[in-house]
Chains A and B, each alone.
Chain A
């Protein structure tokens, strides 16, 4: 079993839809949870950074962490064609080593 599981997709939605992206994990030591967006042949761009359980909102993006279920989500409201990309979840333990474990990424396509 992988430490971090993420559905690779592809996920296709119409413009304006609410998108839900998810990751599950097995390591209860993870304390920091990140979402990155990666366009084709580009480096990942940090979207959301959260510590421990709870919700965090930034514009059209909302990140949720449920440590009891070992489950994290990213919601994108009013999705746009420019949101079409691969979304990677990443996690790290509070060890200070900064080592990230990434999910495989979910390919999202928002149709105009």
Chain B
């Protein structure tokens, strides 16, 4: 159990375009999903916390108008990188909290974004 998927696994886009990344919890309902960013040989940096049916909470320094997050259902959250630039190239990973009262987060396989 506790499987999280991400799509796409890899995407290359041109500078100025927008890219949408999907995160799905496959076998459980996730009231909370999280989006992280990871640069090579660095740790995960939390970008935002997404709760189903409400606005996402962004970490300090993360532009909410650039990184649009939509948690449309208990099994789906999306991250849209708008007007992408080469510096947005990174590994984006989502995670999902399994249920109320538990703190475990289960991670998706990640999406590698390359902006040319």
Contact = CB atoms under 8 A, between A and B. Distances in A.
Interface in A28-53: 32, 34, 36, 41-46, 49
A103 B46 contact: no
Max count, chain B CB within 10 A of own CB: residue among A92, A102, A103, A104: A102
A102 B37 CA distance: 12
B109 A88 contact: no
Given A98-B34, A98-B97, A99-B49, A44 B107 contact: yes
The contact size tier of chain B is 20 to 34
B32 A41 contact: no
The contact size tier of chain A is 20 to 34
A54 B97 CA distance: 24
Chain A at the B interface: mostly helix, strand, loop or mixed? Answer: loop
A41 B110 contact: yes
A104 B42 contact: yes
Contacts of A88: 43-44
Given A44-B93, A88-B43, 4 more contacts: A34-B103, A43-B93, A43-B108, A49-B104
